[in-house]
Structure 1
Amino acid sequence: MKRIAFHIALILFSQNLIAQLLPNLGGQRAGISTLTFLKNDVSPRSMAMSGANLTLSADGMSTFHNPATMAQAKGMHFTANDLLLGAGIHQSWFSALIPMKSSTSALGFNLNYLSSGAMKVRTEFQPLGTGAYFYANQLAGGLAYSKLLSDRFSFGANLKVIHERLAQYTNTTIGADLGFLYTTDIRGLKFGIVVQNFGGNSALSGDFLEVDFNRSNVNLDKYAMPTVFRLGASINALDQEDQKIVVAVQLEHPNDNSENLRIASEYNFKELLFVRGGIKINVQGQRLPTLGLGYRARLGRNAIMVNYAINSTQYLGTLHAFGLDLMINNDKRE
């Protein structure tokens, strides 16, 4: 027990040391992108592992983690997740993953939706509200495809249409995620590469009514999407018949912030109970590890996975994510 406590303490106290070794390259770019809801980790499994998700086994969140992993799915997946961001803000995810009969490719559909809820319209003379309400909503709908090019290499892409509405202003644009996965025969060692949220610049558009109390000039400039390049690997540190431990490492290079590192692990007991944890290094406001649990129940030939994750942050408080993943015909792929 003392040994386990020592290793946990060593990991926690080593974060500050490793953060000093990572240069703050790109820190001056913070805040230059738009549509930042695309960066939120809406996957409880991924959030529990600090976002080290590129090489995770295929599930209903593969279109979000790495579309290249979709082709390795053993059956259909239907997934629903909810991320609680505080202040009444929710972000929801719905997706479906359908393997093709060719057994070498898969299709995916996904919907990512963030809503602020109703907010009061306030003016200088009615600070408690005018009786009217406005909303801040953001939506991304995607179609994904993945194919096995060999027994070791696969690629995938997710093309999405993104729409946001902030009061009377709207913005619609197109983005894409591209992913690659390479699997070796060395203890399940995998390497993954993903370019996420790749697309052009976009700007809000809408009517603006000038009055004496407002600025005379309002510029709706174009801003880039939150593109991020991810490189990751994972390996089975323990691989026995009734239990498994996967260790994952991931390096991220965002276009609107500093480079950062994620280290995580997942303990799998008899494909029934999953315990997850991870740390983020060189991520501002993220000093504590992320944690999560998963439980898988059988439904005849099918199964359902219940996932939960918790992430304690310095600025947004404690975030919670919940998810359900229904797996159909998961024992044998058609």
Structure 2
Amino acid sequence: MNKKITYFLTVLLLGTVLFSEVFAGGAKRNGTAGAQELLIPSSPSGLALNGANISSVTGLDAVFYNPAGFGGTQSSTETMFSHLNYIADISMSFAAVGVSFSDLGSLAFSLRTLNFGDIPVTTVDNPYGTGSTFSPSFVTLGLTYANSLTDRIRVGVNLKLVSEKIIRTSATGFALDAGIQYQGLAGLDGLNFGITLKNLGPQMKYDGPDLIRVASESEAKRGDNFYSIDAASFELPSQLELGLSYAYSLGDQYKLGVATAFQNNNFANDEYKFGGEFVYDEMLFLRGGYAYMGEVADNEYQQFFGVTAGIGVKVNIGLEMVVDYAYRAAKFSESNHLIGVKFNF
């Protein structure tokens, strides 16, 4: 078994090196990827740690950060709801339900929506507005499967259907997340390793009746001609992440956990993430995190978000309920506030 695990990890690390070469140079393509809603966090506990917990996250919180962690769920059934105040008047709502089938693995369904509020309709003839409003519809449906290969190795995949619609113009695509967690690295209990590839998929492209235009010529005898604007395709914001975490017990009631992760972005600068968590009696959770972009350390305009912090409370009301809150500082808009609740059956 040890030889198989060693072989597995060797292949994994070689694959990681190859993918990192593919992802290299992401900073040269800043801002060129679409479907940015795929990068908005849905887990308050994960956001409070700034996403550094990809090697230790479990349950439905793992759907966004590392699907392999969902294989470590301790409940037969779990539900999760969260809401984020994002940028300006944009908000995100998330809902998920997961079921564990013991040795057959765990399966989860998730729904993510963005709310943009009402936006005035403008046209070429009415650049200041027609008096009407519209609201874009951005929806992501997810199907997650995870399982434990051994008592130390978990694997998981997350298939997402991405839909974006602006009045009568829309784009639809698919994205895939895949992750692995290894528990007890180097034989040390509490030391975990994780790797995840996120948002892998084909390009998306907008199309629809609103892209049709009328071409008129005063001397033409054939009347008006119609043509459709050919929208440019765009790629998904792919990411490769590697993480380490260590959890240490400080007696019967206290625990301390630290985590770090490296995030290689295909269309943005790389990030180094750090997070810490203090746990009291498995009932109170205090968290904090920070992300550092080394390549833009001297450019304050490229690092939009700052420190993160959060708190969680677990109570038993006939079933286990967990309420989590996360705060993320932002430089050029109001800070983010993400609140969520989970029920474990």
TM-score interval, normalised by the smaller of the two chains: 0.7 to 0.9
Shift of residue 86 of structure 1? 3.4
SS of match in other structure, 1:151: coil
Partner of 2:314: 296
- In the TM superposition, what whole-angstrom CA distance separates every residue of 1:202-260 from its partner, at most 9, and x where no partner exists? 11111224369xxx984411111111001001001444320111100000011101111
- Counterpart CA distance in 1 for 2:282 and 2:139 is 34
SS of match in other structure, 2:37: helix
Query: In terms of Rg, which structure is larger?
Result: 2
- In the TM superposition, what whole-angstrom CA distance separates every residue of 1:108-148 from its partner, at most 9, and x where no partner exists? 11111112122111346655532322222211111111111
Shift of residue 176 of structure 1? 0.8
1:129 pairs with 2:146: no
Unpaired stretches in structure 2, ≥5 consecutive residues: 1-23, 216-226, 297-301
8 Å contact 2:49–2:290 — kept in the other structure? yes
- Counterpart CA distance in 2 for 1:147 and 1:85 is 32
Structure 2 counterparts to residues 112-127 of structure 1, below 5 A: 112-123=112-123, 126=126
Partner of 1:90: 91
Shift of residue 59 of structure 1? 2.3
Shift of residue 281 of structure 1? 0.3
1:266 pairs with 2:277: yes
8 Å contact 1:81–1:322 — kept in the other structure? yes
1:222 pairs with 2:223: no
Q: Indicate the larger mover: 66-75 or 53-62.
A: 53-62
- Counterpart CA distance in 1 for 2:251 and 2:83 is 33
How many percent of aligned residue pairs carry the same amino acid?
Answer: 27
Unpaired stretches in structure 1, ≥5 consecutive residues: 1-23, 329-334
Task: Give the alignment's TM-score, normalised by structure 2.
Answer: 0.82
Q: Which amino acid aligns with 1:33?
A: A
- Counterpart CA distance in 2 for 1:55 and 1:258 is 22
8 Å contact 1:142–1:158 — kept in the other structure? yes
- In the TM superposition, what whole-angstrom CA distance separates every residue of 1:133-164 from its partner, at most 9, and x where no partner exists? 22222111111111111111110011111111
Q: Which amino acid aligns with 2:340?
A: G
1:248 pairs with 2:259: yes
Partner of 1:46: 46
8 Å contact 2:59–2:72 — kept in the other structure? no
SS of match in other structure, 1:80: strand
- In the TM superposition, what whole-angstrom CA distance separates every residue of 1:262-318 from its partner, at most 9, and x where no partner exists? 000111111111110011000733574211111111122x21111111111113331
Partner of 1:79: 80
8 Å contact 1:25–1:259 — kept in the other structure? no
8 Å contact 1:262–1:278 — kept in the other structure? yes
Structure (1 or 2) with the greater helix fraction? 2
- Counterpart CA distance in 2 for 1:73 and 1:287 is 30
Partner of 2:171: 171
- Counterpart CA distance in 2 for 1:287 and 1:91 is 17
- Counterpart CA distance in 2 for 1:315 and 1:137 is 25
8 Å contact 1:280–1:286 — kept in the other structure? no
Q: Which amino acid aligns with 1:321?
A: L
Q: Indicate the larger mover: 284-293 or 104-113.
A: 284-293
SS of match in other structure, 1:27: helix
Structure 2 counterparts to residues 55-74 of structure 1, below 5 A: 55-74=55-74
Q: 1:286 to 1:127 in 2, by over 3 A?
A: closer
Q: Which amino acid aligns with 1:220?
A: A
8 Å contact 1:90–1:115 — kept in the other structure? yes
SS of match in other structure, 1:47: helix
- Counterpart CA distance in 1 for 2:311 and 2:40 is 19
Shift of residue 90 of structure 1? 1.1
- Counterpart CA distance in 2 for 1:226 and 1:247 is 27
